[in-house]
Structure 1
Amino acid sequence: MRSRVVAAAVALSTAIGPQADAAPVVEIPPGVTTGFAVFDRHTGQMTVQHQATMQFRSASIVKILIALDYLNGRGVGSPVPDIDLALLEPMLRSSDDTAASILWERNGFNAIVHRMAALIGLTETQPPADPNWWGRTAVSAADVVKIYRYLLERAPHSFRDFVLDNLRKATQCATDERDQYFGIPRALPRPWAVKQGWSGYPDPPRDEKCVVTGEGAEVNEIDLRSPALHTSGLVGEGDREIVVVLTLHPEGTTWATAAGRITALTKSVLAASARRAAR
């Protein structure tokens, strides 16, 4: 089946006027539901976006909020004790779920999302209906862009450096033995800082385990069944662009297929963004 093609930067069409017909296109793999956004920090504008306010379950992207809430609770200038570093670093670098669950419970479950949404000004982000499932927090691509912008532009420098330094050290193999180098890490060479997310996939069989090879709005019903795979982060020299690609795949989609699709989609999104920036 051929990929369907959609015009990106829909929200920018009013601003670009007569150029709307020439808007860059992004190829979306068949069967994939996606919301994406690329924000250029040099121009202060989105270069491409599609369904940027659509809510998806966050999977592990919410771990950025868990870390920020922890740091905010301790306050500027308060060192992070080693016992908590042992939770925060693997949570951010290797997407450790156990560490996230400990911090989520300790700091108030859904209260974490409420505090961070109010602090950052998130409009589509809402806590999960069942507070035991942090990965079912609702987010949108536009809100994830806001989270990265908060880190870069408004957060205390020590908080920014702690979170982003860990995201720059994202390991290829996650704690659950999944290869988390899909999307941005496969679409672009370094420099980048990334936080990935996935949900709805069984544990990898032995022959598919990761081996290192080198580089609030009102909550709508969000899809909790379709396999989710998300890529987000900062790319380019000086962290020029914020890139967020959120995806849902048909039930039964394998990890390898979904990873290939989101990587191809991310490449297409980045190519469209580059064409827009070159105008």
Structure 2
Amino acid sequence: MPRRSLPVLLVALLALSACGSAPSEPVAATGADVDCAGTGFDCDFQSRFARVREYVATRPGTVGIVVRDRGTGAVWHNDHSADLVWTASTIKLAMVVDLLRRDREGAVELTDDDRDLIRAMLHSSDDHAADELWHRYSGADHRAFNDSFASYGLTSLVPQEGYSDTFPYWGFQKCTTEDLDRLMSHVLTEVPAEDRALLVEEMREVGPEQQWGVWGAGPAARPGNKDGWSEEDTGWVVNSVGFVGPDERYTLAVMNDLHRQGGYQEGRDTDTEIAGLLFGGRF
């Protein structure tokens, strides 16, 4: 051990006495260590939120963002979190929640083929799988799914007419980022444990088509997500909703409406960078 001069040792001792006692090893921030200005989020998160706002201001289109700390109940959202945006494939997560509920309650009996289609929707965001399940289980009036979506948090959801022969249809609906935040919370808190475990596992193991958005939090955060992307009459929408952290403590919802100011890649890059700014290095 190198020798230290007496003044250096005195300074070190004074610093220790002023702070109490030094921790034996670094303590990772958890989001609830220091409540910054009564927000429920620590000061590190507050600085991250500021960086996200600055970053989003430089990006094409409009972006709605909601972050939830399920440990404290704190929620942060930006100015566009209540904008109605095309859901794209994020609504497939709500479809799966509904099918699992109906099967558990005995209202339907899911076959092995149905369950394979469910996994395909979650893993690779398979549109054909979604079409098949919508055809089989939306009912004669096609409203069976939509009649239940609000109970999973999609209280602002509006199916859009005039875009398909079937109405309502999963592929043409709009909701808000706040809706997706509530849906993700429902999955993690209200869905029965066995079904929740299935959803969490599938969302953590999505295919390369969906390894962006919330995935950008990084492997240490053990993220899981359901992404959605489509080119609509207003331009591209590129969305991502999911969870990060131990015990899925934090949820993140992002809805990116490009308004013809950019395309799929710009939207994907924006969503992924937001997750990295919010959670990179936190875990």
* TM bucket, shorter chain: 0.7 to 0.9
**Paired residue for 1:135?**
171
**Paired residue for 1:85?**
115
Aligned residues of 2:213 and 2:240 also touching (Cα < 8 A): yes
CA–CA distance in structure 1, aligned partners of residues 76 and 218 of structure 2: 17
**Paired residue for 1:148?**
184
The partner residue of 2:144 within 98, 101, 111 is: 111
Post-superposition offset of 1:15: 6.4
CA–CA distance in structure 1, aligned partners of residues 86 and 62 of structure 2: 12
How many equivalent residue pairs? 229
Post-superposition offset of 1:32: 2.0
| Cα gap change, 1:121 to 1:250, in 2 (>3 Å) | closer
CA–CA distance in structure 2, aligned partners of residues 256 and 51 of structure 1: 21
Aligned residues of 2:238 and 2:257 also touching (Cα < 8 A): yes
| Cα gap change, 1:152 to 1:86, in 2 (>3 Å) | same
CA–CA distance in structure 2, aligned partners of residues 147 and 189 of structure 1: 23
**Paired residue for 2:243?**
234
Aligned residues of 1:76 and 1:156 also touching (Cα < 8 A): no
CA–CA distance in structure 1, aligned partners of residues 274 and 169 of structure 2: 28
Does the residue aligned with 1:135 lie in a helix, a strand or coil? coil
Aligned residues of 2:159 and 2:168 also touching (Cα < 8 A): no
The partner residue of 1:264 within 251, 273, 282 is: 273
Q: Which has the higher contact order (CA 8 A, sep 6+)?
A: 1
Q: C-alpha offsets along residues 34-54 of structure 1, whole Å, 9 cap, x if unaligned? A: 111000011111134432221
CA–CA distance in structure 2, aligned partners of residues 133 and 269 of structure 1: 34
The residue type paired with residue 69 of structure 1 is D
Post-superposition offset of 1:229: 0.5
Post-superposition offset of 1:194: 0.7
Moved more, 46-55 or 36-45: 46-55
**Paired residue for 2:213?**
183
Consecutive unaligned residues of structure 1, counting only runs of 5 or more, are 1-13, 17-21, 173-178, 201-222, 275-279
**Paired residue for 1:11?**
none
Aligned residues of 1:114 and 1:126 also touching (Cα < 8 A): no
The partner residue of 1:126 within 158, 169, 174 is: 158
Aligned residues of 2:184 and 2:241 also touching (Cα < 8 A): no
The Cα RMSD (Å) is 2.9
Post-superposition offset of 1:268: 3.4
Does the residue aligned with 1:244 lie in a helix, a strand or coil? strand
Q: Would you identify which runs of 4 or more consecutive aligned residues in structure 1 move more than 4 Å?
A: 76-80
CA–CA distance in structure 2, aligned partners of residues 255 and 45 of structure 1: 31
| Cα gap change, 1:52 to 1:254, in 2 (>3 Å) | closer
**Paired residue for 2:102?**
73
In the alignment, does 2:68 pair up with 1:39? yes
Does the residue aligned with 1:251 lie in a helix, a strand or coil? coil
Does the residue aligned with 2:156 lie in a helix, a strand or coil? coil
Post-superposition offset of 1:233: 0.3
Moved more, 23-32 or 227-236: 23-32
CA–CA distance in structure 2, aligned partners of residues 132 and 150 of structure 1: 23
CA–CA distance in structure 1, aligned partners of residues 260 and 169 of structure 2: 20
Does the residue aligned with 2:71 lie in a helix, a strand or coil? coil
With the length of structure 2 as denominator, give the TM-score of the two structures.
Answer: 0.71
CA–CA distance in structure 2, aligned partners of residues 244 and 121 of structure 1: 13
Q: C-alpha offsets along residues 220-259 of structure 1, whole Å, 9 cap, x if unaligned? A: xxx7422010111010111010101110114273433332
Q: C-alpha offsets along residues 112-163 of structure 1, whole Å, 9 cap, x if unaligned? A: 122121x234321222325264222112111111111111111222221222
| Cα gap change, 1:270 to 1:136, in 2 (>3 Å) | farther
Aligned residues of 2:210 and 2:226 also touching (Cα < 8 A): no
Consecutive unaligned residues of structure 2, counting only runs of 5 or more, are 1-36, 40-45
**Bigger radius of gyration:** 2
Q: What is the percentage of aligned positions where both structures have the same residue?
A: 24
